[in-house]
């Protein structure tokens, strides 16, 4: 058997493309750790919101990043997000956090700190890490890189369906506008913009079922020699 580098599956792509669902299911099927880096940026955003620190680069943010902790704890089918030990898994999905997270994640200091945390996790291997810059910046040597895409309308429809469970009244058009705004902010920022790595496999999930997209990733992992078929 070939001497393979540690298994890191990097999954990048815009919101609503199916990253979390795919990452969670691939991790579950292959017995890997699932790391949602967007949740980490959201937790830091929540901390800054709670402490009234405006999202501008500065000493206050530098200090905060030195003290706060964000832990991802795998549950049955979810990932619990702990901010300084407090479970904020639901709270980080609220509109105030979603509205600010692109701005916070565009800050150089924030990215440096989080990329350092993420690399420490990825070094151990056996991980599926999802985000916007995993294949390009966090783990440029990842042996498997996927860039998930889907049409904006499909992504908005998926989000609206998820949100209807929470009955927060946001309609599909509002969600579509919010996704488009975030896409632009995330892909045009100066530091580590969302992008597909040149060696990433692009997977359009517009017409794929969840099983279809998970199968496609697992197939790729096998083709690269990681698990017996
Ligand atoms: O995946 P998500 O929608 O929960 O991510 C929230 C925000 O975090 C997203 O708008 C961009 C940012 N993000 C990032 O800049 N880099 C990552 N690796 C992951 C997320």
Q: Which is nearest to 25 in space by CA: 148, 201, 151?
A: 148
Q: What is the CATH number of the domain that holds 63?
A: 3.40.50.300
C-alpha separations of 42 from 49, 50, 107, 151, 162 in Å: 10, 12, 13, 24, 18
Residue 16's φ and ψ, nearest 5 degrees, are: 85, 0
Tokens of 65: 């990043």
Asked, for residue 157, whether it belongs to a domain, the answer is yes
Residues 51-105 have pLDDT tens digits of 888 777 678 888 889 999 999 998 877 899 999 999 999 999 999 999 999 999 9
**Residue 42 in contact with residue 92, Cβ under 8 Å?**
yes
Q: Which of 39, 44, 101, 122 to mutate to test the pocket of ligand 1 (most atoms within 8 A of CB)?
A: 101
Task: Tell whether ligand 1 has an atom less than 6 A from the beta carbon of residue 105.
Answer: yes
| Alpha carbon distance 213, 209 (integer Å) | 6
Confidence (pTM): 0.93
Q: What is the pLDDT of residue 162?
A: 81
**Structural domain span for residue 79:** 8-222
Task: Tell whether ligand 1 has an atom less than 6 A from the beta carbon of residue 186.
Answer: yes
CB half-sphere exposure, 203, CA atoms < 13 A: 28
Residues 25-58 have pLDDT tens digits of 999 999 999 999 999 999 999 999 998 887 776 7
Domains of the chain: total: 1
Asked, for residue 2, whether it belongs to a domain, the answer is no
Average pLDDT over residues 206-227: 94
According to DSSP, residue 190 is labeled S
Residue nearest to atom 20 of ligand 1 (CA): 38
Q: Which is nearest to 225 in space by CA: 65, 63, 3?
A: 3
Asked, for residue 227, whether it belongs to a domain, the answer is no
Asked, for residue 105, whether it belongs to a domain, the answer is yes
Asked, for residue 212, whether it belongs to a domain, the answer is yes
Ligand 1 centre distance from Cα of residue 122 (Å): 17
């Amino acid at each position: 058997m070939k001497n393979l580098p540690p298994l890191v599956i990097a999954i990048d792509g815009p919101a609503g493309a199916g990253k979390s669902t795919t990452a969670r299911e691939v991790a579950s099927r292959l017995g890997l750790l699932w790391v949602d880096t967007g949740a980490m940026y959201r937790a830091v955003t929540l901390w800054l919101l709670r402490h009234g620190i405006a999202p501008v680069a500065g000493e206050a943010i530098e200090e905060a990043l030195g003290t706060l902790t964000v832990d991802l704890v795998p549950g049955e089918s979810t990932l619990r997000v702990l901010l300084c030990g407090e479970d904020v898994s639901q709270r980080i999905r609220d509109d105030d956090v979603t509205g600010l997270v692109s701005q916070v994640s565009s800050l150089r200091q924030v990215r440096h700190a989080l990329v350092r945390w993420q690399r420490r996790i990825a070094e151990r291997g056996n991980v599926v890490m999802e985000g916007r810059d995993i294949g390009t910046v966090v783990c440029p040597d990842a042996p498997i890189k996927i860039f998930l895409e889907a049409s904006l309308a499909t992504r908005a429809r998926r989000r609206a369906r998820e949100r209807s469970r929470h009955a927060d009244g946001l309609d599909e058009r509002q969600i579509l506008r919010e996704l488009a705004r975030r896409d632009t902010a995330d892909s045009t920022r100066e530091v580590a913009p969302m992008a597909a790595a040149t060696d990433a496999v692009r997977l359009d999930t517009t017409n794929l079922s969840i099983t279809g997209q998970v199968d496609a990733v697992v197939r790729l992992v096998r083709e690269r020699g990681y698990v017996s078929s």
